[in-house]
Amino acid sequence: MSELIDSQNRVIDPDLTVQQRIREVGLERGLRPTTVRSYEVLLRRLSLLPRRLREVTRQDCIDLVWTLDNPNTRRATVVAMRSVWGYDIKIPKGVPRRYELPDEDTLRIALMTSPHEIRGLLMMYAGCRIGEACAVTERQVSGDRLTIDRQMIHLCRTGEESRIYIAPVKTSEAAIVIPTWLGERLSGLTATARPASVRESLRRAGKKVGVHLNPHMLRHWYATTLLSRGIPLSLVSQQMRHSDVAVTLRSYSQHNSAAIHEVFPS
């Protein structure tokens, strides 16, 4: 195979194992542990982790990517491959996730059956990611303001002990506006929660009312509801803590054709 070159035009040692190279990239670029973990999961799925870099050609990578059915998984896998091998592979477009969003009452009833109701409410009415919601305590709340400045990370690698710890947030820190009643509910919340436990609790709660409930759906419901109720896109993007309003519009704006008939009734 030809010489491997990274994005900084540095030669990559072809005798490294894929896993060794992932760890090396993580240190070089200062990647979050969760990103390193995601690279490992994606490439292990294609049975690449035990192999050495020199054993995998650019064409091998392309062929393996097309064995994946989900376009977003293909996109994430190509990003990982480019980082590890330095191959110039075009990054495919992602496809925004779409949900059959339940109505507000159904979601609230489901959350009431969960011991982690308050974490679900933080995703549903504050747009928190699951790690952020699990890290919230009363110290981050002041009236109708919630400071998002940390998240719970669950790091688990094959053959290693699972670790859960508090880390900086995925995006920049921000203070967002939350409903006053939610701020009051957070009073007295002194402990953090385990993301895996919350995720499973929400899944079971959704099953009780006949919906597929997951953390991202609640965040999606939050953004979509704000937009549908006339909140300016720029403010929704600010609340979601996106770096660009285009991310909000592309990923979280979900409407149906019935909205046209509501504007122009028969």
Determine the pLDDT at residue 155. Answer: 65
**H or E stretch covering 147:** strand 145-148
With 0-12 / 13-18 / 19 or more C-beta atoms within 10 angstroms meaning exposed / middle / buried, residue 255 is exposed
In the structure encoding, which two tokens stand for residue 33, read together? Answer: 């542990």
**H or E stretch covering 141:** strand 141-142
Determine the pLDDT at residue 8. Answer: 80
Window from 27-31, 209-213, 257-261 with minimum mean pLDDT? 257-261
Instruction: Look at residue 165 and tell me whether its pLDDT is greater than 80.
Output: no
Contact 248, 242 (CB under 8 A): yes
In order of start, what are the domains of the chain with their CATH numbers? 18-85 (no CATH), 104-262 (1.10.443.10)
CA distance 132 to 244: 20
Instruction: Look at residue 160 and tell me whether its pLDDT is greater than 60.
Output: no
Using pLDDT thresholds of 50, 70 and 90, give the confidence band for residue 162.
Answer: low
Determine the pLDDT at residue 258. Answer: 59
Determine the pLDDT at residue 9. Answer: 84
Q: What's the mean pLDDT in 156-181?
A: 77
Residue 151 pairs with which residues in a beta bridge? Answer: 167
Percentage above 90 pLDDT, the chain: 65
Indicate the pTM of the whole model.
0.76
Most distant CA atoms of the chain, gap in Å: 69
Higher pLDDT, 162 or 216: 216
Instruction: Look at residue 124 and tell me whether its pLDDT is greater than 60.
Output: yes
- The segment with the largest mean pLDDT, out of 29-43, 63-77, 95-109, 162-176, is 63-77
Higher pLDDT, 46 or 153: 46
Using pLDDT thresholds of 50, 70 and 90, give the confidence band for residue 161.
Answer: low
Q: What's the mean pLDDT in 20-40?
A: 89
Q: Where are the beta strands (DSSP E) in 149-256?
A: 151-155, 163-167, 174-177
